[in-house]
Structure 1
Amino acid sequence: MAAVTEDLVKLYAQSDALALGELVRTRQVKASELVETAIELVARLDPKLNSVVIPTFDVARQVAEAPGTGPFAGVPFLLKNLGTQWKGTPLTSGLAYLQNYVCPADSEIGRRMRASGLAPIGRSNTPEYGWCISTEPRLYGPTVNPWNPAVTAGGSSGGSAAAVAARIVPIADASDGGGSIRVPASCCGVVGLKPSRGRVSYGPFDADLWFGCIYFLCNSRSVRDTAAFLDVVAGNLPGDPYTAPRPEESWLSLLARRPKGLKIGYTLTAPFGDPYAPEVKAAVEDAVRLLESLGHTAEEYRFEVDLEEAWWRYNDIIAVETSTEFTQHAKFAGRPPEEADLQPFNWSMLEYARTLSATQYSASIGAVRKAAQRIAMELAPFDAFVTPTLTQPPRPVGYWSMEDGNRERYLARWSDAAFMFAFNISGLPAMSVPLGMADGNKPVGIQFIGRHGDEATILQLAAQAEEAAPWIGRKPQVCAI
């Protein structure tokens, strides 16, 4: 095993993923040294965070023996414990019910990650089966925020975002069905892009997930890492039901161009639930002023579409789709799930699914698609649109506990994330960037939304903001350096 020195820890923690990959390719650092550094940081820091729940150190060490020449050659990262299949690794989705599952093959995104040279040191903590914007599974316990252990790291990619913020890894796998890339990015002060519908294939295990409303990408500390990761994983397989237009140049190369004179919309009105917290409103206003100072024009706009109605209709779809998925899981587990297998909220979703008729389910699909169309039409006049990622600062650990079996009460708490699912259902790219901070230890993310297929504009806008108001040097309470 490679020796881990404090100089190496410092170099590792100060570098983003692309920088580390370049060090490996130019033979300034061995991939094995990076992997052992990440493993050492798991030992030092993760007892305070609980972000890594399934170690895969041997897999990472094997990758480090022949890291290749990809952009992330030998770079340690985390697979999320939900969704992404990497052959030979366990994948439990936060459930004891699925604790014996081992990936039989790579999913397409897993294959592309592998080809880029990424070295998975483990799987990151997620809420039980993912439908939560905190990360507190009964099986593994809660992930806490490296900025403030009293508040949530967000979810469902909470373990990924916390580990990236603490600099255990520079980049981590993340996915998003209702904010699960962007919410933890906001809570932990990192970058999180949910790409356009059809940008990343679900294959070959799945053709579709939640009617194209689930998305895969990453959490990172730099905009350029996110752009490079998108370059790596974007693409389709024959027969994929959704596609998105791709620019002729790489998204990473497009970052060199700074956008000029964009028409940017923004809103200071929560679509439902509580009004913006004062700190959140101030962060949005500061972000708008920053963008105006960079030469863009800003116009306030209030959504007309009924997002609250769309939220409840969307959860009809999710309940039925989740029930269908557990029917498939029962084939692996050898039995259907029982109430004791699940946290109360998840059980309530399965119970609710049984009350919905095919006609009701079809009507909810139609209502969600109509709302999605309306969202895209309303935002079409803008080159980019700005909202807060969450309307409130990070909530205390336990606020979104899935131990609450009252489905309606639990889902009503999601009003903080009212601007999240809207861009899952509409298919528009949306990105949380860490431009705000409340009380010095509660990050506040700002969300940039683009037109379908136009990740380039919001990535460029984020790179402009990153350059004007740098965040990468910020250090949380729990940090490698």
Structure 2
Amino acid sequence: MTFAEYDQLDGLAQADLVRRGQLTAAELCAAAVARAEAVNPRLNAVVRPLYEAAEARAAAGLPAGTFGGVPFLLKDFGAQYAGVPHSSGSRALQGFVPAQDAELVRRWQAAGLNVLGKTNTPEFALMGVTEPALFGPTRNPWNLAHTPGGSSGGAAAAVAAGIVPVAGAGDGGGSIRIPAACCGLFGLKPSRGRNPTGPEQGEKWQGAAVEHVLSRSVRDSAALLDATCGPDPGAPYFLPPPARPYLEEVSREPGQLRIAFSLGHPLGKPLHPECATAVREAAALLESLGHRVEEVPLPFDGQAVARAFLMLYFGETGASIAALAQHLGRPARPADVEPTTWLLGLLGRTYSAADFAAARHSWNDCARSLGRFHQTYDLLLTPMLAVPPVRIGELQPKPTEQLLLKLVNTFGLGGLMRRSGLVEQLAEQSLEKTPYTQFVNLTGQPAMSVPLHWTADGLPCGVQFVAPLGAEDVLFRVAGQLEQARPWFGRRPVL
């Protein structure tokens, strides 16, 4: 099949043609590999090709699940794939090969997805851009000078470029939603506990991180959540199962909803005009569809959320670096990881258990605040980003910052940095461009990025919808309505 034919099909359409005998899994795999070989050298989205193994599986026969025969990519973080190196974007883990599949990967395979390779991610999935020292930067198909976002930037670039219709992603602070917004895709972050995290982990990042997919169509995301949702043995969270398949929700009318929108910046910084326009246009569209729309202040304390999230960020990075010892056979050293990663870990060791516990308690404040908000409003609409996708390298440390990193890391000056107040200053700068995502990770609520706006320069600029805990069904109904009212599937970057 030609790329033009392949590119017109979402995952469900591909699987349907395979089921009816009009296409074979081998033909789909060949089309995906051909597209990857044509565009990946410019994008650097797929960093571990597994093409031969995928071709062999396609020829031998794949499970006849909902997505039987559909090409798929795994993020090189979180979703462990037995027998395949799992570097997490770090040179320290280049040799790590997991012995068993993650439960989510097992469910993806049971749905019939054919794993084609693994996608690029920043080291330990820590950044909102995808520029690891190990593999180099991934580029945005809409403009190669710009980032596809992070940390699931490789997955987003691959889907946006038409390599696969859907790809695995994870979200601990916006890492599904930010790349979706940067690449013109649909990206749903499920509720905490909706998808499994086993078999080794009960929760990720204290429950802040979840995994799902990035897709071009809403229905692919819904059908894959149907295929994967539900607890696995030992899961620490339990959500009531959905009333009906999520796929059915996509075509159901949402009814008249009460939707609040906000243009406030959580950290009190300016909001880029294009991002504000994206929200205003979405609000006007929702109103034209019969919803009750109202502008409100942000219903949470942005500074408190930032402090709590950064405590998590520092602490989890410190724990990740400490855990490297079991793979390296010795304690980790600064040279094993990127300078910024080492600094984050160093900072994580300067805070006490009491500090961490106090920050963790503040998650409840945010959750209660949002709970009260949702007694009045069904959904919250916000910008997805505070600025359109930044240029490659724009968020990398400047020469003076690199020197500071070297000094701090060499002499272990994390405590001094913390006492000087410089940590808070640098941390706030790091969240300034992506401040709308972290509160949802702390509360555990579902949220989605919907591609409704493109800038004057032709870059995607998604908007975010947040629903109460467990209300993915409402999000899918609204997303389906918006997809019908302002279709985006056919809007493609030119490579």
Q: TM-score, normalised by structure 1?
A: 0.95
Alignment of 1:354-373 (within 5 A): 354-373=349-368
Moved more, 127-136 or 318-327: 318-327
Q: Deviation of residue 443 (structure 1)?
A: 0.5
Q: 1:116 and 2:111 equivalent? A: yes
* Counterpart code for 1:303: L
* Counterpart code for 2:197: Y
Could you tell me whether the CA contact under 8 Å between 1:292 and 1:298 is conserved in 2? yes
Structure 2 residue ranges without an equivalent (≥5): 406-421
Moved more, 467-476 or 57-66: 57-66
Could you tell me whether the CA contact under 8 Å between 2:182 and 2:462 is conserved in 1? yes
1:4 alignment partner in structure 2: none
* Counterpart code for 2:451: P
Q: Deviation of residue 144 (structure 1)?
A: 0.8
User: 1:40 pairs with 28, 34, 42, which one?
Assistant: 34
User: 1:225 pairs with 217, 220, 226, which one?
Assistant: 220
Moved more, 240-249 or 10-19: 240-249
Separation in 2, partners of 1:192, 1:375 = 21
Q: Deviation of residue 275 (structure 1)?
A: 2.3
Could you tell me whether the CA contact under 8 Å between 1:63 and 1:74 is conserved in 2? no
Alignment of 1:460-475 (within 5 A): 460-475=477-492
* Counterpart code for 2:50: T
Moved more, 359-368 or 466-475: 359-368
Q: Deviation of residue 313 (structure 1)?
A: 2.1
1:437 alignment partner in structure 2: 454
Task: Specify whether residues 451 and 243 from structure 1 end up closer, same or farther in structure 2 by C-alpha distance, changes over 3 A only.
Answer: same
Could you tell me whether the CA contact under 8 Å between 1:231 and 1:251 is conserved in 2? yes
Q: Deviation of residue 188 (structure 1)?
A: 0.5
Alignment of 1:157-176 (within 5 A): 157-176=152-171
1:82 alignment partner in structure 2: 77
* Counterpart code for 1:248: A
Could you tell me whether the CA contact under 8 Å between 2:259 and 2:292 is conserved in 1? yes
Moved more, 97-106 or 240-249: 240-249
Summarize deviations over 1:291-325 as a string: whole Å, max 9, x none: 11111110111124322222122211222222223
Counting matched residue pairs gives 472
Moved more, 60-69 or 229-238: 60-69
Could you tell me whether the CA contact under 8 Å between 2:319 and 2:345 is conserved in 1? no
Separation in 2, partners of 1:37, 1:48 = 18
Summarize deviations over 1:49-89 as a string: whole Å, max 9, x none: 00000111133123312112111111111100100012122
Q: 1:131 and 2:126 equivalent? A: yes
Task: Specify whether residues 402 and 194 from structure 1 end up closer, same or farther in structure 2 by C-alpha distance, changes over 3 A only.
Answer: farther
Alignment of 1:254-333 (within 5 A): 254-333=249-328
Task: Specify whether residues 374 and 210 from structure 1 end up closer, same or farther in structure 2 by C-alpha distance, changes over 3 A only.
Answer: same
Q: State the identity as a percent.
A: 41
Q: 1:50 and 2:67 equivalent? A: no
Alignment of 1:327-476 (within 5 A): 327-401=322-396, 405=405, 408=424, 409=426, 411-476=428-493
What secondary structure sits across from 2:465 in the alignment?
A: strand
Could you tell me whether the CA contact under 8 Å between 1:164 and 1:172 is conserved in 2? yes
* Counterpart code for 2:328: A
Summarize deviations over 1:109-132 as a string: whole Å, max 9, x none: 011001011111110000111110
Moved more, 242-251 or 209-218: 242-251
* Counterpart code for 2:334: E
User: 1:214 pairs with 209, 229, 242, which one?
Assistant: 209
Structure 1 residue ranges without an equivalent (≥5): 1-6
Separation in 2, partners of 1:474, 1:440 = 15
Separation in 1, partners of 2:299, 2:225 = 32
Q: Deviation of residue 256 (structure 1)?
A: 2.0
* Counterpart code for 2:154: G
What secondary structure sits across from 2:212 in the alignment?
A: strand
* Counterpart code for 1:8: T
Could you tell me whether the CA contact under 8 Å between 2:251 and 2:481 is conserved in 1? no
Could you tell me whether the CA contact under 8 Å between 1:82 and 1:93 is conserved in 2? yes
Could you tell me whether the CA contact under 8 Å between 1:344 and 1:402 is conserved in 2? no
What secondary structure sits across from 1:77 in the alignment?
A: strand
Separation in 1, partners of 2:372, 2:126 = 28
Could you tell me whether the CA contact under 8 Å between 1:265 and 1:384 is conserved in 2? yes
What secondary structure sits across from 1:150 in the alignment?
A: coil
Could you tell me whether the CA contact under 8 Å between 1:16 and 1:222 is conserved in 2? yes
Separation in 1, partners of 2:469, 2:262 = 20
Moved more, 271-280 or 84-93: 271-280
2:54 alignment partner in structure 1: 60
What secondary structure sits across from 1:120 in the alignment?
A: strand
Summarize deviations over 1:160-186 as a string: whole Å, max 9, x none: 001100101100000000000000000
Separation in 1, partners of 2:428, 2:75 = 23
Separation in 1, partners of 2:446, 2:435 = 16
Q: Deviation of residue 212 (structure 1)?
A: 0.8
Moved more, 68-77 or 165-174: 68-77
Summarize deviations over 1:236-269 as a string: whole Å, max 9, x none: 0233111222223100012221111111111121
Separation in 2, partners of 1:436, 1:359 = 44
Summarize deviations over 1:342-393 as a string: whole Å, max 9, x none: 1121111111111111111111111233223323322332111111111211
2:408 alignment partner in structure 1: none
